[in-house]
Amino acid sequence: MIYTITVNPCLDIMRFLQHTGTHGLQDGTYRPEDPNNDERQRPGGKGIDVSRALVCLRNETKALGFIGDATGKILLGLLDAEGIESDFVDGGVETRTNIIIFLRDESGMVVSEIRINSKGKEVPPNRYSLLYQKCAEIDDADGLAVSGSLCFEMQDTFYNALIRNIRKNNPKCVVVLDGPDRATAEAMSLDAHRPDFIKPNLGEFDALLRHVTNGATTLCNEYPEGVSRDQYLEYIYSGAAVKPPPDGKFSIDRKSLSNNWRALMEHLRFIKKTFGVQTLLSLGPLGCCTVAEKEDEFLHAYMPEPCKLRTRVGAGDCVVAGFLSHYVEGRDLDLALKAAVAAASARVEVEESRVGKYLDRDRFSTMLKSVRLNKYTEQDFEKPKYLECVDPSLLAQLAGKGNSRDKSPEDKESKDPCPNAQAK
């Protein structure tokens, strides 16, 4: 059985509207055309989404956490409809609600979304012990995913307490933590009750590094105006981006990219050596990477062909689900990492505007056969293998000019090993 804990779950209220033009929504009243398909609700929260993916992958799972009032009852009904077993604690406050507006083009495809996320109300501290007790009574946990944000005023040690209680009767339970940087750092700091794995994306990993090193280590010191930090990190560490970088904003040559890749491995190795915790680092469209059991090796799993991106919601949670679904069986890190990428890739191809499964298991099985797994050692970083799946338009920029396979003058001159592309 794989358990998931969502401390701060939510009910997502979704509305699908026709795209109104280049300027998006204007003042006025909007009504979905088809109430049966354009007005929906879904259970939300990172741990809950892990359970939703696990059910699609045909794993036994049970969702835990806090819920409350009428919204909580609706959420329980939605989980039951998806075949997800749950055992939530009444948090004494109403479960938060998020509003999501999807804009569709003429073909019905979602082209953009507007999210209004609630932080949620504070769960009274006297309710914490009820969840601790439920965790302490569990005796069949093969895996545990602790995910999502903490409620107001919760101490950063809260996740650590959950792990401690569930391991009382489940010492071999594999624990994956996907939470905020402060709570993650706190959970990693205690020998007896730390997670086995953490699952940040590049932005979250950057925040974690800065926190555990008191600001001494960061993935990038600055980034160009008009570009988000997460987009810039994704670009300078993988050569990929949600969209091509603005002309003249920044560029990076192959040599710098190789240096950044080497630095990233050292950061992952630092976390493992210092805290004894393995990092499953999500690279967005470039898959997932981690340090191998032999610490001089670096594993990178990715799809060789681009996925048909239809949603990004839940992709990181599917990394956790795919990984746990395979790792708890045979402790095969290579296979589990490939399953993590396959699950996330199957998820991003789900069209949100259509009613269906959270992810398609048949599509997952097909993708699992296609996932590539590269193993790197120090001498391999001069020729990053993953560039084969980078968008060709970006490859030209990575090479400076001309053929992306050829070295540019910048390659010969670049000596900067620090993880920072040069802003132009």
* Chain segment 244-301, per-residue pLDDT in tens: 455 545 555 566 667 777 888 889 999 999 999 999 999 888 889 999 887 778 899 9
Sheet holding 288-291, edge to edge: 281-282, 288-291, 298-302, 372-376
Q: Quote the CA–CA distance of 260 and 265 in Å, as a whole number.
A: 9
Pairing of the two strands 372-376 and 2-6: unpaired
* pLDDT exceeds 70 at position 420: no
Looking at residue 119, its pLDDT comes to 85
pLDDT tier at 413, thresholds 50, 70, 90: very low
Hey, what are 57's tokens? 């992958």
Looking at residue 390, its pLDDT comes to 55
E strands, 107-186, are: 110-116, 143-147, 174-178
Burial tier of 142 (Cβ tally within 10 Å: 0-12, 13-18, 19+): middle
For helices 158-166 and 128-137, what crossing angle results, to 10°?
30
Residue 272 near residue 198 (C-beta atoms within 8 A): no
Half-sphere exposure of 317 (CA within 13 A, CB side): 26
Looking at residue 376, its pLDDT comes to 83
* pLDDT exceeds 70 at position 401: no
Other Cβ atoms within 10 Å of 105 Cβ, number: 11
Looking at residue 240, its pLDDT comes to 55
Hey, what are 82's tokens? 């998806």
170-229 pLDDT per residue, tens: 999 999 999 989 999 999 988 778 999 999 998 999 999 999 998 888 888 777 777 778
43-58 pLDDT per residue, tens: 999 999 999 999 999 9
* pLDDT exceeds 50 at position 405: no
One-letter amino acid of 110: V
* pLDDT exceeds 50 at position 410: no
Nearest residue to 81 (alpha-carbon basis) of 89, 71, 73: 73
pLDDT tier at 408, thresholds 50, 70, 90: very low
Residue 53: C-alpha distances to residues 21, 113, 347 (Å): 34, 22, 9
Partners of 122 in the β-ladder: none
Q: Quote the CA–CA distance of 195 and 188 in Å, as a whole number.
A: 7
How close are the terminal C-alpha atoms of the chain, in Å? 52
22-38 pLDDT per residue, tens: 556 667 677 777 777 77
Nearest residue to 59 (alpha-carbon basis) of 168, 144, 131, 138: 144
Looking at residue 184, its pLDDT comes to 93
HEC states along 235-254?
Answer: HHHHCCCCCCCCCCCECCCH
